[in-house]
């Protein structure tokens, strides 16, 4: 057995020598959560001779300027969940390899009528989930309202504040209906305009089962479900029961008393 250990030790020495004395001792990371801009910090020896980072957490990590011989920094936006690998490469040699676990993303919506806890499904709805998290992590939804409330149908928000003014949105996204997730009670889905690829920031929660909103031969393109309420359906039902005006600023079914999302934050 001793010769196997010696051979392994020589292989390590040869690898280090083959990449110009590069050596990685540790990799740490900050905010390794789905949809977050994460920072990876690599520490070691002679890192200024050239290292790169490859991880299944996200594509093409970017190396920041200002690194030193003992520390290099990389950033990327996390697009995966579950078990991921983080590898540091130098001179075509894997200098260090680590594993981490990224939990399924959860978002807490605090409203003037109670709280909701949402869980997203980035596996079945990757485009929609990442789009929603961009708005969440930019604090876009804070102080917006549920502006369209229809009992026994949906509560919809994310487009207007209490003055019925809508902030600027990101570009529309590709429709991910027909992904195996259906518009059942308590599910989270994206609102959109009449054309399929037109969803931006507005979302809704199904108050009841709404099969007419699913993609099918009879329903057309449908609406993309990308998550569900895992806590707070009592709040959803309470919001669904509030009195509404016929129209307000051209929008139908607006609550008479605004239902405000005081904060929308990622909690996992």
Name the token pair of 122.
């980035």
Of 208, 258, 251, nearest to 233 by C-alpha is: 208
Q: Phi first, then psi: give them for residue 137, nearest 5 degrees.
A: -75, -10
Q: What is the pLDDT of residue 4?
A: 36
CB-side exposure of 1: number of CA atoms within 13 Å?
Answer: 0
Complete edge-to-edge strand list for the sheet that includes strand 93-102: 52-55, 82-90, 93-102
Alpha-carbon distance 101 to 99, whole Å?
7
Burial of 15 (0-12, 13-18, 19+ CB in 10 A): middle
Taking the C-alpha atoms of residue 162 and residue 142, their distance in angstroms, rounded to an integer, is 11
Residue spans of beta strands (DSSP E) within 106-143: 106-111, 114-120
Q: Is the pTM of this model over 0.75?
A: yes
Q: How far apart are CA 227 and CA 78, in angstroms?
A: 18
pLDDT score for 137: 96
Q: Which domains does the chain have, with CATH numbers?
A: 2-102 (2.60.40.10), 106-266 (2.40.100.10)
Token pair 């390794």: residue: 32
Q: What is the pLDDT of residue 7?
A: 33
Digits of tens for pLDDT over the chain (268 positions)?
A: 432 333 333 233 334 434 557 787 899 999 899 999 999 999 999 999 999 999 999 999 999 999 999 999 999 999 999 999 999 999 889 999 999 999 999 999 999 999 999 999 999 999 999 999 999 999 999 999 999 999 999 999 999 999 999 999 999 999 999 999 999 999 999 999 999 999 999 999 999 999 999 999 888 999 999 999 999 999 999 999 999 998 888 899 999 999 999 999 999 9
Q: Give the pLDDT confidence score for residue 62 in this predicted structure.
A: 97
Query: Which residues are CB-neighbours of 89 under 8 A, at least 6 positions away?
Result: 51, 52, 53, 54, 95
Q: Are strands 154-157 and 144-150 parallel, antiparallel or unpaired?
A: antiparallel
Which residue, 197, 204, 189, 146, is CA-closest to 171?
Answer: 197
Give the tokens for residue 7: 């051979």
Return the pLDDT at 19: 53
């Amino acid at each position: 057995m001793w010769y196997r250990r010696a051979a392994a030790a020589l292989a390590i020495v040869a690898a280090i020598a083959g990449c110009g004395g590069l050596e990685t001792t540790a990799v740490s990371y900050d905010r390794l959560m789905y949809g977050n801009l994460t920072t990876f910090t690599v520490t070691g020896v002679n890192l200024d001779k050239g290292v790169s980072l490859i991880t299944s957490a996200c594509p093409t990590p970017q190396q920041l300027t200002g690194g030193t011989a003992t520390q290099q920094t990389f950033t990327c936006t996390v697009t995966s969940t579950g078990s991921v690998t983080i590898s540091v490469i130098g001179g075509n040699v894997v200098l260090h390899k680590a594993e981490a676990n990224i939990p399924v993303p959860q978002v807490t919506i605090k409203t003037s009528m109670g709280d909701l806890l949402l869980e997203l499904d980035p596996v079945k709805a990757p485009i929609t989930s990442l789009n929603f998290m961009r708005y969440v992590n930019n604090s876009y939804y804070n102080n917006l309202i549920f502006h369209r409330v229809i009992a026994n149908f949906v509560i919809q928000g994310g487009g207007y504040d209490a003055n019925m003014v809508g902030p600027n949105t990101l570009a529309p996204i590709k429709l991910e209906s027909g992904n195996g997730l259906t518009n059942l009670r308590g599910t989270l889905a994206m609102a959109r305009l009449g054309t399929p690829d037109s969803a931006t920031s507005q979302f809704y929660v199904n108050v009841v089962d709404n099969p007419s909103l699913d993609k099918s031969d009879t329903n057309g393109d449908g609406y993309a479900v990308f998550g569900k309420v895992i806590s707070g359906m009592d709040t959803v039902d309470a919001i669904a029961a509030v009195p509404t005006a016929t129209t307000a600023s051209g929008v139908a079914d607006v609550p008479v008393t605004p239902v405000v999302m005081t904060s929308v934050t990622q909690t996992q």
